[in-house]
Amino acid sequence: MISTDLFASEPLEAFRGHIKPEWIDFNGHMNVGYYVVAFDLGSMAFLDAVGMGYSYPERRGGSTFGLEMHVTYDREIHQDDPYVIHTRVLDCDQKRIHMYHEMRHGTEGWLAATNEIITMHINMKERRSAPFPDDIMETLNKIKDAHANLPIPSGVGRKIGIRRK
């Protein structure tokens, strides 16, 4: 669990990995579905850092479920390339977290993809939405406040559609 009272006003490095061979499609680059897998690894690492990781359902009876997500594919990334997921909290309330992830090449730093997601806190016994525990809410609010003055990324809140002139 993150224990510091102060957070940097920059996205958090949530996860580092390498593009796996089984993630490559017939075009020779990462398949679209595996971007979601990579972003989920970033989400889980972030949630683990704030106390809601893999052991959270057993320890405290809660979890998070994804409600909606948007992915952009900005530049091809290839097998064995290192990548890093940076996460920021755009907003949160008593039951939801609005996160934004960027996948960047792990050594060159260029943007490969983005992910905007809203998750809901769940009481696993009832399998219904429930407020975050006070300690988790306090941590989420500190991160949100630290990220509040960052510029909103251009992809946040986008709607999908064919642009017509």
Q: What is the pLDDT of residues 86-134, one digit of tens each?
A: 999 999 999 999 999 999 999 999 999 999 999 999 999 999 999 999 9
Which DSSP symbol is given to 94?
A: S
pTM for the model stands at 0.91
Residue type, 50: V
For residue 59, CA distances in Å to 68, 121, 134 come to: 26, 15, 15
Residue 135's nearest CA partner among 79, 68, 81, 59 is: 59
The pLDDT confidence band at residue 6, using thresholds 50, 70 and 90, is low
Give the model's pLDDT for residue 160: 84
Secondary-structure percent of the chain, ordered helix, strand, coil, rounded to 5: 25, 35, 40
Task: Tell me: pLDDT of 2 over 50.
Answer: no
Give the model's pLDDT for residue 1: 40
Q: What is the pLDDT of residues 44-85, one digit of tens each?
A: 999 999 999 899 999 999 999 999 999 999 999 999 999 999
Residue 87's nearest CA partner among 131, 143, 30, 135 is: 143
Q: How many CB atoms lie within 10 A of CB 157?
A: 11
Please give the CATH number for the structural domain made up of 12-147.
3.10.129.10
What are the extents of the domains in the chain?
12-147
Give the model's pLDDT for residue 20: 98
